[in-house]
Structure 1
């Protein structure tokens, strides 16, 4: 009897596995082509993982499950209950970090917001609706952007040229190359090919590229990371007729305030002074500065200003101002007091607070072959003057609202939004333009073809052939189990006659005698039914 129970249990288990595998849940996401949406987010930012039905169906009474790599429980929702308000089972990595979008369920949107992403959050996520047998796949790539440092390394009035340097440090993936562009976007031939590579004392890799320019304007350096779009970029401005350099730096980063003679004169035994208005920023004289003995530095800059390593020997009095804030913005004057020459340099520092962009699909209409995309820009200093959507080839898309819709959130941060309708698959970019700041802040979202047509791939079809296939396999397993059971009974009976073994209840009749058994030498034949 025990063998029969084991066989029946095995049958039930195999049947459950087969039915589960045939329920339309993909086994493995083998490549990016199997995913529906690709999301890029910088480390430390919040990521919107998009998931919706493509139509405004209220999902408050629905069931859906978010998982990472088909194993980690990210977020589970069932008729108003989820991990934040009572349900258990969430992976510790995502505890208190995953939230529904306000008002999203009522509009058919099961997207979630994953806060403060790290490299460990990168991977493939699934959003599964079991009642609808529907799965959405999202690949999240967490990008660590390299830090760019742009500066004037040489100014030569006699030749009417300026040499610009761009240094890229760190980044994941590491940039494969650097590129300088003129104000109109033309690529400037580099002085080194490929870029010069090095490592700092902390083991962080860096690459650098220098170019020579002869015209005033804003010059841009781009660091391209393989597979990541758009490139990281920063801009430096070259002025005509004056030794003035404009530096743009994001709030919280370090700013290089460039000051150099333009010739390799050793400044170790010289003196120079850096001021912002009447504020003493940095003073150096024959090996002494504010960091090692000299007094008089403005309290705002104490411990925040340092010389570049090895710069003085090459005639470079540039300094690093760490952790810049809005209060650091303004014009700085550097005066070099050398024995044989005196040089003045003016530096205009602009500390930029970038807005945060959120891109998402707000409506997919297969019947009309179109998708509506939304771009929301929040915060920023200066506040963006406008938003712009571009096609994959850079063409501007006419907006549905002009000017962009403006609003304020609960903490008083201003935001603007812009929606567009697109009819072709591809990567669409939203740009937030801040007055006087270049380049624009940008982010990209990808639109897939099946969103426009309504087609979607399934692992197995849901038609009658699946039911026929499952029925065939279940019947076959049942027939094997029955024959195993008959074989076990017969074998027990034969063993009981031949070895005087203790008989079981299945081998005795009502009088206590053995039931008839097949002849001990007869072959036991398993009758497996024939299918066709």
Structure 2
């Protein structure tokens, strides 16, 4: 049985109804649901995986940017890199892992990223017409400098100026007093240099000298002058069941954290410790049993102030709020992890109304998390009125959903059952074609 096929089914009720069921390929490509953010000049991995895992070394696939000409960032064909039509700006900077390909990991390694690398990347398999996209955002930042700009004699106030160079994307500047209240300042002046980096400056007048100010940067992350801070994602980190994930946590400015004591924990667990680093090594004594052998840090990244946690083969029970904490600095950051599971729906014939020749169709999909919703669409994409969705949660915490719709034969009888979960931005759908009344004698369910 091939992954792609057309199914014929007939049922004889005076006349035989003939159905064509078009199933989507079982082979899917998965990429990150959130943008991949990396600092200017660093190396980055653009994730893309086959699920179920399948040896991709013998397949043809491409990494591309549709906005470029030529669009090809990296092409793999006949078990080797194909450089003929590669875009010049990516020559010598891209690669895929042979060992990773054998495990269905077609992630692209991109070295020494540039501002021009910003964009949407597509991981595409032409043979099975499967694709996923990755949004890459390049960022760079610098610390602001505050200086005395003058005296406002009319109000006996002091004019201070804040300036910061070398930003991307364009940041904004805010002034705060010692209690964290916003201060009214003049408009921010922004200059974009020939290197595409931004310089911003802002002035504020004080009636007296306040004891603390700060600058707001993109992604709503704060840099406090002269202090080490932790930064992480503002949105939940989303991952599919059984995949690996990195929970981000970064010291800014970068500080070697190898000799520091730190913990990753979940306050809702007992014991709370997911991973503890102490005296240059893992501390496993009080680690929660659910995470044994599934969590790690990178020593090379620790040297650069990167405290991100690697978590392997995630499960539904890994959903939760994680804390990245350094006792010495009394600094903490929280990361929300949302684990999802999906499956493709199946459509079956539930019955036929003889009176009006209407057809009842059932849609069913197993193995979802969080709980999804089911919608039916006609060939124009309009919502169809269907019965209530039936939902069952199994002992594995995964949801099975089913829905029934009654459709009348029309000129265009293509229908779609779509199962979707908006929190994890996942959709799966199956299509069915119900043609007009035709007579077929004793046709069997078959694949063409």
Give aligned pairs, total: 306
- 2:102 matched to 1:199? no
Change (3 A) 1:178 1:438: farther
SS of the residue corresponding to residue 248 of structure 1 reads: strand
Structure showing greater relative contact order (alpha-carbon pairs closer than 8 Å, 6 or more residues apart): 2
- Residue-by-residue CA offset, 1:435-483 (whole Å, 9 max, x unaligned): x5232331233649xx458599xxxxxxxxxxxxxxxxxxxxxxxxxxx
- 2:191 matched to 1:312? no
Q: 1:399 aligns with which of 384, 403, 427?
A: 384
- 1:31 maps to none
Q: 1:176 aligns with which of 45, 62, 68?
A: 62
Within 2, Cα distance between the matches of 1:325 and 1:429? Answer: 30
Q: 1:348 aligns with which of 331, 336, 354?
A: 336
| Alignment check: 8 A CA contact 2:7 2:20 kept | no
Structure 1 alignment gaps of length 5 or more: 1-36, 42-48, 59-106, 110-135, 180-186, 213-218, 457-532
Q: CA deviation at 1:231?
A: 4.2
Change (3 A) 1:39 1:295: closer
Change (3 A) 1:154 1:442: closer
| Alignment check: 8 A CA contact 2:358 2:406 kept | no
- 1:226 maps to 126
- 2:282 matched to 1:289? yes
Within 2, Cα distance between the matches of 1:152 and 1:398? Answer: 31
Within 2, Cα distance between the matches of 1:151 and 1:315? Answer: 22
Q: CA deviation at 1:144?
A: 3.6
Q: CA deviation at 1:429?
A: 4.3
SS of the residue corresponding to residue 96 of structure 2 reads: strand
SS of the residue corresponding to residue 354 of structure 1 reads: coil
SS of the residue corresponding to residue 311 of structure 1 reads: helix
Specify which structure has the higher proportion of helix.
1
Q: CA deviation at 1:359?
A: 2.6
Change (3 A) 1:439 1:355: same
**Cα RMSD, aligned residues only:** 5.4
Greater Rg by CA: 1
Q: CA deviation at 1:306?
A: 1.9
Within 2, Cα distance between the matches of 1:57 and 1:353? Answer: 43
- 2:160 maps to none
| Alignment check: 8 A CA contact 1:169 1:207 kept | no
Structure 2 alignment gaps of length 5 or more: 75-93, 137-217, 222-230, 441-448
| Alignment check: 8 A CA contact 2:22 2:430 kept | no
- 1:415 maps to 401
Specify which structure has the higher proportion of strand.
2
Change (3 A) 1:234 1:370: farther
Q: CA deviation at 1:343?
A: 5.6
Q: CA deviation at 1:50?
A: 3.7
Change (3 A) 1:144 1:279: same
- 2:374 maps to 387
- 1:275 maps to 265
Within 2, Cα distance between the matches of 1:221 and 1:319? Answer: 25
SS of the residue corresponding to residue 28 of structure 2 reads: coil
Within 2, Cα distance between the matches of 1:168 and 1:408? Answer: 31
Within 2, Cα distance between the matches of 1:369 and 1:254? Answer: 50
| Alignment check: 8 A CA contact 1:401 1:418 kept | yes
Correspondence 1:118-129 to 2 at 5 A: none
Q: 2:31 aligns with which of 148, 151, 155?
A: 148
